[in-house]
């Protein structure tokens, strides 16, 4: 299957601008498309210290959710944090507990991460990941959902 690349935020809907007061005829009904990027974390090598990923979130994006899919259970309980390369290693997720069972987890915006979720700032941000424990097994797939150019800040 081929891929298509767009240069900016994608809007979906049939009416771009509001020019009147009739829903479905002349009132804006466009919305931004939610984007996602994923990366895997191999827990078999032990603790990770702010390791750069290939995920880069565009400037002024709003983080909507972070999803942790524990594909292979960890050998030991560990905490995973997500932050920015060159910035706070825990800016998005601070020490989400990953147990020793596989499954899906939805971390919260712990320890002040809500401000970074609202708007990542005026520059693109490359993500890093930190794993706190010296585990010898496990794999976690992390997916970051965001919408571009919300610019709430």
More confident residue, 48 or 85: 85
Q: Which of 44, 98, 89 is nearest to 69 (CA)?
A: 98
Which one of 44-48, 55-59, 99-103 scores highest in mean pLDDT? 55-59
Say what the pLDDT of residue 145 is: 94
pLDDT in tens, 84-94: 999 888 888 88
Rounded to an integer, what distance in angstroms lies between the CA atom of residue 132 and that of residue 31?
A: 38
- Tallying the residues shown for the chain, one arrives at 153
Residue 31: beta bridge partners? Answer: 12
Q: What is the DSSP letter of 61?
A: P
Rounded to an integer, what distance in angstroms lies between the CA atom of residue 78 and that of residue 96?
A: 8
Say what the pLDDT of residue 153 is: 61
Say what the pLDDT of residue 107 is: 83
Q: If you average pLDDT over residues 37-66, what whole number do you get?
A: 89
Domain ranges of the chain: 34-147
Say what the pLDDT of residue 135 is: 77
Q: Are 66 and 92 in contact (CB under 8 A)?
A: yes
* Residue 87 burial (C-beta neighbours within 10 Å; 0-12, 13-18, 19+): middle
Q: Assign domain 34-147 to a CATH class.
A: mainly beta
| pLDDT at residue 78 is higher than 60 | yes
Provide the Cα torsion 147, 84, 144, 152; round to 10°. Answer: -20
Mean pLDDT, the chain, whole residue set:
86
Say what the pLDDT of residue 147 is: 92
Provide the Cα torsion 88, 89, 93, 94; round to 10°. Answer: -100
- Other CB atoms within a 10 A radius of the CB of residue 105 amount to 16
pTM of the model: 0.84
Lookup: tokens for 6 = 């767009």
Say what the pLDDT of residue 127 is: 95
């Amino acid at each position: 299957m081929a891929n298509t690349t767009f240069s900016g935020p994608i809007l979906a809907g049939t009416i771009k601008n509001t020019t009147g007061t009739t829903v479905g005829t002349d009132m804006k009904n466009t919305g931004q498309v939610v984007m996602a990027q994923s990366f895997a974390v191999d827990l078999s090598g032990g603790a990770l210290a702010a390791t750069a990923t290939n995920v880069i979130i565009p400037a002024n994006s709003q983080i909507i959710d972070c999803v942790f899919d524990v594909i292979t259970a960890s050998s030991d309980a560990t905490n995973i944090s997500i932050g920015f390369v060159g910035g706070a290693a825990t800016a998005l997720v601070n020490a989400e507990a990953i147990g020793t069972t596989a499954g899906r987890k939805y971390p919260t915006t712990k320890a002040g991460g809500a401000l970074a979720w609202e708007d990542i700032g005026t520059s693109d941000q490359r993500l890093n990941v930190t794993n706190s424990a010296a585990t010898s097994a496990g794999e976690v797939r992390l997916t970051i959902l965001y919408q571009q150019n919300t610019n709430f800040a």
